[in-house]
Amino acid sequence: MQSIPLHDMTDPLVEPKTLWQWLSAAVPGVIVADCRYRLTDPAAGYQLYQAGHIPGAYFLDLNRDLSGPPGVTGGGRHPLPDAAAFRRTMERLGLTPDHWVIAYDDEGSGAARLWWLLKFYGHDRVAVLNGGYSGWVEAGFPTSRDVPSERAGQWQPSPRLEWVTSYDVVASQRRHLTVIDARAPERFRGEVEPIDPVAGHIPGAINVPYQSLMSGPARFPEKDALVARLPVLSPSRPVIYCGSGVSACVNVLAFYRVGRQPVLYAGSWSDWISHPGALIERGEPKDHSR
pLDDT in tens, 97-110: 999 999 999 999 99
Instruction: Select from 159, 180, 212 the last residue of a domain.
Output: 159
Q: For residue 40, is it within any domain?
A: yes
Percent of the chain at pLDDT > 70 equals: 93
Query: Does residue 132 sit in the same domain as residue 80?
Result: yes
> What integer is the mean pLDDT of 64-91?
91
Q: For residue 37, is it within any domain?
A: yes
Query: Does residue 90 sit in the same domain as residue 20?
Result: yes
Q: Among candidates 140, 146, 143, which has minimal Cα distance to 17?
A: 140
pTM: 0.94
Residue 284 has what pLDDT?
Answer: 86
Residue 289 has what pLDDT?
Answer: 41
* Separation between Cα atoms, residue 165 and residue 175, nearest integer Å: 15
Output the domain CATH number for residue 76: 3.40.250.10
Which is catalytic among the residues 242, 246, 253, 263? Answer: 242
Pair type for strands 164-165 and 263-265: parallel
Q: Is 242 designated active site?
A: yes
Residue 75 has what pLDDT?
Answer: 86
> What integer is the mean pLDDT of 190-210?
96
For residue 223, how many C-alpha atoms fall within 13 Å in the half-sphere facing its CB?
Answer: 10
pLDDT in tens, 83-95: 999 999 999 999 9
Residue 288 has what pLDDT?
Answer: 45
Helix ranges (DSSP H) in 28-184: 44-51, 83-91, 109-120, 132-138, 167-173
> Residue 44 is part of which domain span?
13-159
